[in-house]
Amino acid sequence: MSVKNENKPQINMRIPGMRGPRNYGTIEKPKEGRKTISRLLKYFSREMSLIISLIFVVIVVVLCSVLAPSLQSRAVDTIADGKYDEIGLILVMMLILYGIYSLSTLFQNLISAVLSQRIVKKMREDLFEKIVNLPIKYIDNHPHGDIMSRMTNDVENISNTVSQSLGSLVSGILTIAGTVLMMFYFCRQLALLSCTTVILTVFVTKNLSGIMRKFFTERQVLLGELNGIVEEKVTGYKTVVAYNRQEAVINEFEKSSDELTKTGIIAEIFGGSMGPVMNVINNIGFVIIAAFGGYFAINGIISIGVVSAFIVYAKQFGRPINEIAQVYGQIQTAIAGAERIFAIMDEEGENKEGSNNMEGAKGIITFKNVNFSYKEGKQVLFDFSLDVHAGHKVALVGATGSGKTTVVNLLMRFYDVDSGEILIDGVNVKDIAIDELRKNTAIVLQDTVLFSDTIRNNLKYSNPGANDDEIIEAARLSNCYNMIKHFPKKFDTMLTEAGQNLSQGQRQLLSIARAFLANPKILILDEATSSVDTRTEKHIQDAMVNLMKERTSLIIAHRLSTIQDADLIVVLDNGRIVETGNHNQLIEKQGKYYELYITQFQGNAI
């Protein structure tokens, strides 16, 4: 099953005269907006002190921005009337008011930033905690890029919306309301005339934004394609050079680059036109105010100071309308992102409950009539039954897709059986706490997983409480101590890019040392020597022999030469056990195992 990544390109662009970046990318609409907003408000409710502070500061900002033009009007009228002794006080009041406005705006931005980071911090923590406790089934059935995108892009969208748009939205609404009231207070007729530009502003914003969104979205798609070409060709550079495809690759890149350039130019033209167009509309408003305001002033309806105040109010009135139109799209996109985040949070977590622990466990494993399907209608295991004695080494062999890895997935409870039972020392694994089960089971995979940390911490990943003596002993038993000794910082050597500074064989030896340190009752080995040279294979085989001593071991075998000494070899074919026995017994039978053996060692296609 695959899930499409619903994250669409987000384009942030700044328009002259607007505060902060505004979103002209694809506006994503949530499916259940009210429900999502209600859940988001729960995160906001934990920061009520910050929210109250933000609202208070926004009110102060709006009051200052609304009252300042009235003081300007009063100053102009005072000068016009020749009352110069009063102008000083008015100018001081204006200076104080603009000072308060500037400080309040600064505090608004600071509080918004703190509020957004606190909210997304809690949301990010909740989401990550949920992800690491999801069943393996969910992770296997969903694209990893989609899950990571929800953790990064969607959470970041919410952060940007809270820090940049929330304050702007509240401030814009209050500014519009306060400005309209003051305009009608000074002159109702001029206020009505000023509002005619609002219709033009809304019309232009809606239509021009739609055109811009189309081209900016197309530009992002083309940019993604260009980045994909570069990544693919750089990753496969040796192949490009080996087949002399440099010229073809250059032509492919230039074709994609040309398309991006053409679309980018058109997008920037429309993007750059928003500011000038809005300035034209604002200037039309100024002309209306100047013309009619002058007429009203001549006829004594209003004073010259009121005309000057109206020019400021008209500018103040148009800006929030444009901002709110853009903020709406960003808020919709953020809510859609929150909806995807909550979709993961609503997934059922892994059931880790169990009344039994594995203290004193011997490691006897029993599979009883196990049936399993990853997807309904496509059964993988059929009536699988197997007894694994304590301390025995059991190998699972078979062609790709025969069900070997599925057996391990079920034993570890990465998945639960459809029917049948899996028992450890007679106890159903469903009745064993998952933490206990996995603490007493160690896995050495073919694809080694190490982390970008020190060698010491990578080894201690299986046993955080291990001391230095235990770590050194595990390294000796796994044949990697001499290797570690030659590193500059020995056990404190940092592994870069999850161990990419080591060879495949070195990484495998470290993973075996990590399994040693876990001191498990049950050991699972996915053939680890298929991609290493013969000498390294011998070191790894010796380490694995040491690791399997006195432990119940299940081995997924690809190279049959590595499991000839197994106590029991189980041959799987299409989800069914077709043969069991040791190596000599199965060779004598000349059945499925014999065919696999001959194919590998004599090269005869049977």
How confident is the model over 33-48, as pLDDT tens digits?
A: 678 888 888 888 888 8
Average pLDDT over residues 311-319: 76
Rounded mean pLDDT, 536-549: 72
**Which pLDDT band holds residue 173 (cuts at 50, 70, 90)?**
confident
pLDDT in tens, 222-271: 877 887 788 788 878 888 888 788 888 899 889 989 988 988 888 788 77
* 210-235 tens-digit pLDDT: 777 678 767 767 877 887 788 788 87
Report the amino acid identity of residue 136: I
Q: Categorize the per-residue pLDDT at 109 as very low, low, confident or very high, splitting at 50, 70 and 90.
A: confident
Predicted local confidence at residue 13, as pLDDT:
34
CB of 341 within 8 A of CB of 127? yes
Residue 424 three-state SS: strand
Query: In which band, very low, low, confident or very high, does the pLDDT at 14 lie, cut at 50, 70 and 90?
Result: very low
Q: What is the pLDDT of residue 19?
A: 34
Please, which contacts does 47-52 make with residues 24 or more away whose CB atoms are closer than 8 Å? 47/115, 47/118, 47/119, 50/111, 50/114, 50/115, 50/118, 51/115
Mean pLDDT, the chain, rounded, equals 79
Q: Which helix (H) or strand (E) holds 510?
A: helix 504-518
Question: Is the Cβ–Cβ distance between 344 and 196 less than 8 Å?
Answer: no
Quick one: average pLDDT of 522-546? 69
Calpha distance 499→459 (Å, rounded): 12
Q: What type of residue is 6?
A: E
What value does the mean pLDDT take over residues 52-67? 87
Cα atoms found within 13 Å of the Cα of residue 268, Cβ hemisphere only: 6
Mean pLDDT lowest among 56-70, 89-103, 178-192, 351-365: 351-365
Res 103: pLDDT: 92
Give tens-digit pLDDT for 497-510: 666 677 777 888 88
**pLDDT tens digit string along 385-426?**
988 888 888 888 888 778 888 888 888 888 888 898 999 888
pLDDT, position 4? 38
pLDDT reported for residue 20: 35
Residue 324 has pLDDT above 60, yes or no: yes
> What are the pLDDT digits (tens) for 113-168?
888 888 888 888 888 888 888 888 888 777 776 777 777 778 887 887 777 777 77
Query: Can you spell out the DSSP letters for 310-377?
Result: HHHHHHHHHHHHHHHHHHHHHHHHHHHHHHHHHHHHTSPPP----SB--TT----EEEEEEEEEEETT
- The DSSP bridge pattern shows strands 441-444 and 378-388 to be unpaired
Q: What is the pLDDT of residues 422-459, one digit of tens each?
A: 998 888 888 888 888 888 888 887 777 788 888 888 88
Q: What integer pLDDT is reported at residue 46 of this predicted model?
A: 84
Integer CA distances (angstroms), 495 to 280, 482, 488, 532, 536, in order: 59, 17, 12, 20, 20
Q: Which of 394, 364, 396, 397 is nearest to 565 (CA)?
A: 394
User: Which among 557, 577, 574 has a CA at the least distance from the CA of 566?
Assistant: 557
pLDDT of 304 strictly over 70: yes
